[in-house]
Structure 1
Amino acid sequence: MKMIKHLFTVLTFLVTTTMVIGQDAASYQNPPKVIEDLLLAKPTPSVSVDGKGVWMLLSERNSYPTVEELGQPEIRVAGLRLNPNNFSPSRQTYINNFQLKNLKEDKVYSVIGLPATLLAGAVSWSPSETKIAFTHTSSNKVELYIIDIATKKASLVSKRPLNSVLGNPYTWVDDNTIIYKSTISSAANAPKRPITPKGPTIQQNLGKAAPSPTYQDLIKSPYDEQLFQFYATTQLVISKNGVETLSGKPCILSGFSLSPDKKYLLQKKLQQPFSYLVTANGFPSKMIITDLAGKTIKIVAELPSTEGTPSGYDNTQNVPRSFDWRDDEAATITWAEPLDSGLIKKQVEFRDAVYALSAPFTEKASLLFKTKLRYGGTTWGNENIALVNEISRSKQLVRVNLFNSSKGSLELLLERNQTDAYGNPGSPVTSKNKYGRNVITTIENGTKLLMNNTTGSSPNGDLPFLAKFDLTTKQNEIIWRSNVGSFEFIVEVLDANNLILLSRKESQKEVPNYFIKNLRLRIADRAITNFTNPYPALEGVTKEKIKYKRADGVDLTGDLYLPSGYSKDKGPLPLIIWAYPREFNSAADAAQIRGSKDRFTTLSWGSPIYYVTQGYAVLDNAEMPIVAAGKDKKPNDNFIEQLKLNAASAIEHLSGLGIADKNRVAVGGHSYGAFMTANLLAHTKLFKAGIARSGAYNRTLTPFGFQNEDRTYWQAPELYYNMSPFSYADKIKTPILLIHGEADDNTGTYPINSERLFAAIKGNGGTVRFVYLPYEAHGYRGKENVLHTLWEQFQWLEKYVKNSK
């Protein structure tokens, strides 16, 4: 009864409280110069190599857009954020320059014909890899360009502006033919908002359960419906050797894919009525097969809105899903259907059935196989080999099966916990078949697969590997592994038979670069890039993967960074602990070592590592596992207690080593890490300050589940109350810095979370500062906003941690 009274108080507070800010908007500030220089260092180019290992595309990006760029016109509707002037997403990271490198000649070429101010995206090699397509986004349109590798020249190929509102805007057919989505009207013709609406916006439900997550930017009115329909409606265009023809009629096309034989298109067309509860991808739709001219060949399925999806992570709608082309056949479509009505609580032998339908699509669909867990997709090889994934999110279980379509058999190859990083065998290496589709590569007369694990977690840290998986013994034989002291992974297998590989290698002191490896001949690796260190200010900073135990015996790790020139005889340092909790059903999995001390330190805007230059010890990626206490228990059943154990053990270990001053410790995190931070400040006195960015602090605002918790508020009200730091705002007396983007687009982390927590802490006399960043979403991008965030964090740490009394 007491808990119900508390919940009523929480809900009343949400309704009646308004945000109060104790100061006017301040001007932008910059952090110390060394931090500013680290943030704005030009990123190293990204790399893409053709399948023959001859040509490399280097793509260069600038650091961060300005706040003015973020502040350009934007429409938020149906879960989308759009630029109303050019029919494209409003928040993108663009490529600003291309270069081509001939790896045999070791020569770099500039690409001519690029737009003067390049804003490129959606890069794709042609089927024969002699051309490269990309989109260029200007202020009023999106255009399609093609780079001819032979001439090193980029040319505009689209005669109509592209529409990239929903999904990929184009696909290659052959080296001379591309299908793209075009606009059908000028942005000037967008519907105008009426001053006086026709009437109120009304929603209703007539007794049918329709739980839904807390999505952002949804349709809220009939006018929003008109906007979505206007911007999402598109026309398919076939461009062949400069000649364009229309394919079908205008429609709202969520996605389209070409059949392997390039004769058919699988299209997902969205239908009305548009939902006010889910995003565009959950609207009613039709799955349709057409020919390239747009003629309907087969309506495969008519799907309802996803509003009716039952809550619970292993539950699904009782409708077909996971539509895709089979990569090893000319034109065969596959999909899954639940055999348990989509409800995991039903006791059945099989959960899903997977069906196939081949051209000319006039016969009845045939059953391929049934799965005992939820179907998680297929990687195709040939008629004898395909890998079928099954998953159970609630049990954190994954299975991989061998499917032989010629026999119709499904054979279990391996089963493991999703959280068992050591047991991950990697992903099958693929190569192009006669249709130009990537399919599983087999070796040694089809008896083995090559498996690439680009993480390679092990008791010695992450050591990526390449292995041979024996389909008979079901064992992985590692044939190459990254050496201790560096971190190297295989980017691409260029020649499976001769084991010629493209790798990316780095170490603490060596910036990532790319190499050609030949495992068969065992000759020296050939460097094909020579990128230099963009962070000279971090030279001398040390990094160590530390190991320690929490009080109940669970092994923990973290990445410890210490300032250049530091030694213990200089005394303990102020400490920053930065973390993000994760749930485990297995204590053994929680104790596994993740990450590598031998990776080159790369700084993102959100990293805490900047402050190692200011005299702090930084424990980044501090493990904060939340482990289920028993077979019938869920990890979150004792969430707070485990947070306390995790935090206390890290502080005790580092103070015991003489590295950290246990009386000068800060904790911080982003998103779920911010949620963790507020909880630690509410329930412990371990810290001098906290930094919480873009978090959710009241779980009653996410009543149908959050993170990996699939129980609803009504099933576990006490858990929702106890896990909400908002419930204990009166106990948060440790200074806390709240930062939130005003345009947060993440499910569950509405800005109201920070607004209300600020007001609650302020109302109860706590020490709190709330920074509201203009135009920012869940991740921050604007240069001025990011620099100011780093300044805010620095000032907070200096005042309440380093110089605390």
Structure 2
Amino acid sequence: MIVRNLMLLLSCALFFSSIANAQIKYQKPDKMISDLVASPGFSYPQFNRQYTQFIKYRNQLTPTIEYNNRPFLKLAGTRFNPKNLAPVSGSYKVDLRYYDLKTKKDRPITFAKNSYVRTMDWSPNGKRILVQLETSECVELWLVDVPTLFKKKIPHICLNSALSSGGNFHWLSDERIVVLKRAGTKVVEISSATPDGPVVKESSVKVAQNRTYQDLLKTPQDAEAFSQAVMSKITVITLPSFAQHDLGPADSYSVIDPSPNKKWLIVAKLQRPFSYVVPFYLFQRERMIWSTDGKIKKSLGVVGPFENVPIQGVITGPRELSWDHAYGQRYYFAEAQDGGDWKNKVPFREFIYVSTITSAKGDIKTEKIAELPNRYSGITPLEDPAEGVLISDYDRDTDMVRSFRLKPAGPVYEMKQFLSRNENDGYSDPGGVIMGRNDFGEPVGRIQKSDAGNFIYWSGKGATPDGDRPFIGKMNLSDMKMQEVFRSVNDKYEDVWSFYPQQFNQFIVRTESATDAPRFEIRSLENPAVRTPLFEEENPFKVMGQLKKKILKYKRKDGIDLTGILYYPLGYKEGQKYPAVVSAYPLEYTDAKSAGQTRGTANNFEIPFRATPIYFALHGYFVLDEAQIPIVGHPETKNDTFIEQLTSDAEATVKALDGTGAVDAKRIGVMGHSYGAFMVSHLLTHTKYFAAGIARSGAYNRTLTPFGFQGERRSLWEAKSTYLKLSPFLDADKMKFPLLLIHGLEDNNPGTFTLQSERYFEALKGQGATSRLVLLPTEPHGYNASESVNHVLWESFQWFDKYLK
């Protein structure tokens, strides 16, 4: 009898084990939610340079699993289709319509079925549009005439997009285009020939602490396939004849960047041997200056490979080459003076140079124009070269960002600081300079000149204690002081997009509220209350406007202010208790003041993005989204108290939800993605505040990311106790509550290999923890396919319904 019972138990165990490990069909949540998932959302305008016409389009963010399942190669840190050399992408543009602002009429622009619009670009005179179109065989380039909308494929051109879907075609004039085209049409294949030897790697006394990059080259066959894929030609096409002129022989080009006057190109060419330890953008390369007629080619030198970049460091040698958009043919670059390593103490970390092409022969004059004590972080050219540029640096140890005005003063440059702020201090964030097109057609900081002085305009999200309120600021270039001239009203979110060309009164905003769908409006500084819609369209997300939400404010026990966006369940009834879901992502700060600032807004219209946790509000739950989980301390050591601070954050969050009187504190779940998933595993292991959790695409064993993760700058061997403490994999025996693990089988994010979730699940299973692992075919770090998004939502609802309802 005992034997019989044991056999029966064994049979049942095997049966349920087979169910638990079986592949199931894709599932969907209820129709209301799956219909929302299917919608491509709202339209965006892409204006011509004159702002007289635009192309209206939507982004298809959830393509089919069939689209996702197309073949691709993973080589040198990039992914591309071996047949057409298109990059792997989870979105494309749909519903293209040409709109004329004068007639207020629009007309569709259509292409063949099973082709995908990647990027578009207007000609300088606004009479033509270039469209990058992916087909099964080729990344084509199409020319659309305006206003006839007559379309023609540029013949004998397949763009090479293996390294990027942008930057491989540029207008040189209204009649000339420069492109990076495929050198051949052969399908790229990795050789399956029998190996003639092992793959060997060596290390020496030189330190090389690289992140855990994915999709690297592994074999000589990989390197050969990659070389074949990136083989390209740089070609100029003349319109309307479509005559082609190759500027040089085929080679492994990775960058073509025209000068503002369109007479020169910055060209980068990858060089063999290719590295097996870093992605292609850290490979050895030669940088060159070419004339756009192909007659002049000058080398700027060979740099790389960069296999020894310090943790959070930068490459050595000239970097960040960028054309000065206010000049015809000169460019800036930075050069680290500390070996690219923050640990090295030097008087100046960066020298900034400007190089000018001084003759038709390509002669170059280079001069140093600035010395920065901290790390260079960007440059903004202004419309008038005499007014100089704006330049910034960043101090990693304090999170301080400083901005300077760099202005020509005779033979030298005068540099004056006008801003210093903590990078995480949203309340003092001035935003960015409002850009416009100059005579070269390049983006520059536009300058308003008047008797009162010269002014530039800024726009930003406008963080305040009551939430974000976007603004426009007017800065006087004589004293660099800013005056606010526009601020979003209290009950709306009015996001500033741009000024109209050639004037500083009319501007375009995207206006929305918690109940009103976003729409683009033409506004004026003189009378901002007058709202002229750019176009009208149907709202596919009407139900989202029925959700009540607010900013929930509360405090951590050490006094740090915390906030989150609280969504009420659809059909909420006062007096009832509801389950709740907390969605969060830990962020790092150097000071409590910045950590305690309000972030986000409750005045935006909620557009559901893929498998957003906000869908739980349509499924009967309160949702606290963007719950602040600050980790505060010195950048070197703040992770030493990660679990303690995380626990304090969670305690305050649950207490605040309980304080609403509408949330059942015993039925709160927590979820997160990537570093948020890492957070979830710790909360279910070390606290008792949450009844269940969902962790998407996380990393759980920090010994597998030994050279830093997130903001951690120490290696495993420098902070072994912290790495071990922050590895929930090692504490699988302490897991207290049910955990749903979800991961894409093609995760390409450094550090979050799919193996992390697979091994963590096995550890939890081995310790008898309640867990479930869902692996999504074809999906990278984020989940794109509509079938995957629907299934993730179905799994998530099933999990929390089981343990929270």
**TM-score bucket (shorter structure):** over 0.9
C-alpha distance in 2 between matches for 1:363 and 1:162: 31
C-alpha distance in 2 between matches for 1:448 and 1:158: 48
Aligned to 1:770: 773
Residue 647 of structure 1: how far off its partner (Å): 1.1
Aligned to 1:328: 326
Residue 222 of structure 1: how far off its partner (Å): 0.2
Give the partner amino acid of 2:589.
F
Contact 2:116–2:135 (8 Å) recurs in 1: yes
Which residues of 2 match residues 283-302 of structure 1 at below 5 A?
Answer: 283-302=283-302
Per mean C-alpha deviation after superposition, the further-off stretch among 737-746 and 55-64 is 55-64
C-alpha distance in 2 between matches for 1:623 and 1:427: 25
Aligned to 1:155: 152
Contact 1:59–1:96 (8 Å) recurs in 2: yes
Residue 449 of structure 1: how far off its partner (Å): 3.7
Give the match's secondary structure for 1:336.
Answer: strand
Change over 3 Å in CA distance of 1:453–1:196 after alignment to 2: same
Aligned to 1:219: 217
Give the partner amino acid of 2:472.
L
C-alpha distance in 2 between matches for 1:153 and 1:624: 53
Give the match's secondary structure for 1:226.
Answer: helix
Q: Does 1:233 align with 2:239?
A: no
Residue 129 of structure 1: how far off its partner (Å): 2.7
Contact 1:379–1:386 (8 Å) recurs in 2: yes
Give the partner amino acid of 2:574.
K
Residue 444 of structure 1: how far off its partner (Å): 3.9
Give the match's secondary structure for 1:583.
Answer: strand
Give the partner amino acid of 1:374.
R
Can you list the C-alpha shifts for 1:515-551, whole angstroms capped at 9, x where unaligned?
1112235572211121332123334321111111111
**Matching residue within 502, 505, 518 for 1:499:** 505
Which residues of 2 match residues 64-463 of structure 1 at below 5 A?
Answer: 64-111=62-109, 114-167=111-164, 168-188=167-187, 190-191=188-189, 193-241=191-239, 242-311=242-311, 313=312, 315-359=313-357, 360=359, 361-381=362-382, 382-407=385-410, 408-445=413-450, 447-463=453-469
Residue 95 of structure 1: how far off its partner (Å): 1.4
Q: Does 1:526 align with 2:538?
A: no
**Matching residue within 699, 704, 707 for 1:704:** 707
Give the partner amino acid of 1:127.
P
Per mean C-alpha deviation after superposition, the further-off stretch among 290-299 and 472-481 is 290-299
C-alpha distance in 1 between matches for 2:643 and 2:745: 29
Per mean C-alpha deviation after superposition, the further-off stretch among 674-683 and 473-482 is 473-482
Change over 3 Å in CA distance of 1:135–1:92 after alignment to 2: farther
Aligned to 2:9: none
TM-score by length of 2: 0.93
**Matching residue within 533, 553, 560 for 1:554:** 560
Q: Does 1:740 align with 2:746?
A: no
Give the match's secondary structure for 1:643.
Answer: helix
Residue 398 of structure 1: how far off its partner (Å): 1.1
Residue 712 of structure 1: how far off its partner (Å): 1.1
TM-score by length of 1: 0.93
Residue 417 of structure 1: how far off its partner (Å): 0.8
Can you list the C-alpha shifts for 1:753-781, whole angstroms capped at 9, x where unaligned?
10111011111110000001111100111
Aligned to 2:12: none
C-alpha distance in 1 between matches for 2:255 and 2:213: 21
Give the match's secondary structure for 1:225.
Answer: helix
**Matching residue within 513, 538, 552 for 2:544:** 538
Residue 200 of structure 1: how far off its partner (Å): 0.7
Contact 1:320–1:337 (8 Å) recurs in 2: yes
Contact 1:85–1:187 (8 Å) recurs in 2: yes
Residue 348 of structure 1: how far off its partner (Å): 2.4
Per mean C-alpha deviation after superposition, the further-off stretch among 679-688 and 98-107 is 98-107
Aligned to 1:604: 609
Aligned to 2:33: 35
Contact 1:462–1:595 (8 Å) recurs in 2: yes
C-alpha distance in 1 between matches for 2:502 and 2:563: 36
C-alpha distance in 1 between matches for 2:786 and 2:108: 28
C-alpha distance in 1 between matches for 2:677 and 2:189: 40
Change over 3 Å in CA distance of 1:387–1:498 after alignment to 2: closer
C-alpha distance in 2 between matches for 1:172 and 1:355: 27
Residue 296 of structure 1: how far off its partner (Å): 4.8
Change over 3 Å in CA distance of 1:632–1:624 after alignment to 2: closer
Change over 3 Å in CA distance of 1:655–1:325 after alignment to 2: same
Indicate the RMSD between aligned Cα atoms, in angstroms.
Answer: 1.9
Q: Does 1:474 align with 2:472?
A: no
Residue 473 of structure 1: how far off its partner (Å): 3.5
Can you list the C-alpha shifts for 1:201-250, whole angstroms capped at 9, x where unaligned?
11112321121111111000000001000011101111111111111111
Aligned to 1:614: 619
Residue 560 of structure 1: how far off its partner (Å): 0.7
C-alpha distance in 2 between matches for 1:554 and 1:420: 14
Give the match's secondary structure for 1:721.
Answer: helix
Residue 447 of structure 1: how far off its partner (Å): 4.2
Can you list the C-alpha shifts for 1:180-199, whole angstroms capped at 9, x where unaligned?
111111224x4552331121
Give the match's secondary structure for 1:368.
Answer: strand
C-alpha distance in 2 between matches for 1:295 and 1:225: 31
**Matching residue within 670, 680, 693 for 1:667:** 670
C-alpha distance in 2 between matches for 1:393 and 1:644: 26
Per mean C-alpha deviation after superposition, the further-off stretch among 229-238 and 123-132 is 123-132
Give the partner amino acid of 1:365.
T
Residue 633 of structure 1: how far off its partner (Å): 6.1
Give the match's secondary structure for 2:274.
Answer: coil
**Matching residue within 751, 754, 768 for 1:751:** 754
Per mean C-alpha deviation after superposition, the further-off stretch among 662-671 and 130-139 is 130-139
Contact 1:441–1:496 (8 Å) recurs in 2: no
Give the match's secondary structure for 1:165.
Answer: coil
Change over 3 Å in CA distance of 1:31–1:335 after alignment to 2: same
Give the partner amino acid of 1:309.
V
Give the partner amino acid of 1:148.
D
Aligned to 2:42: 44
Change over 3 Å in CA distance of 1:689–1:267 after alignment to 2: same
Give the partner amino acid of 1:464.
P
Aligned residues: 777
Q: Please list every run of at least 4 consecutive aligned residues from structure 1 whose deviation after the TM superposition is greater than 6 angstroms.
A: none
Contact 1:443–1:496 (8 Å) recurs in 2: no
C-alpha distance in 2 between matches for 1:642 and 1:283: 40
Change over 3 Å in CA distance of 1:196–1:792 after alignment to 2: same
Change over 3 Å in CA distance of 1:732–1:468 after alignment to 2: same
The percentage of counterpart residues that share the same residue type is 34
Per mean C-alpha deviation after superposition, the further-off stretch among 40-49 and 418-427 is 40-49
Contact 2:190–2:222 (8 Å) recurs in 1: no
Per mean C-alpha deviation after superposition, the further-off stretch among 227-236 and 193-202 is 193-202
Unmatched segments (≥5 aa) in structure 2: 1-16
Per mean C-alpha deviation after superposition, the further-off stretch among 743-752 and 367-376 is 367-376
Can you list the C-alpha shifts for 1:411-463, whole angstroms capped at 9, x where unaligned?
10101111011111121122222222211112244945433334111112100
C-alpha distance in 2 between matches for 1:260 and 1:614: 53
C-alpha distance in 2 between matches for 1:609 and 1:47: 27
Change over 3 Å in CA distance of 1:448–1:548 after alignment to 2: farther
Give the match's secondary structure for 2:33.
Answer: helix
Give the partner amino acid of 1:240.
T
Give the match's secondary structure for 1:36.
Answer: helix
Give the match's secondary structure for 1:139.
Answer: coil
Aligned to 2:13: none
C-alpha distance in 1 between matches for 2:469 and 2:449: 26
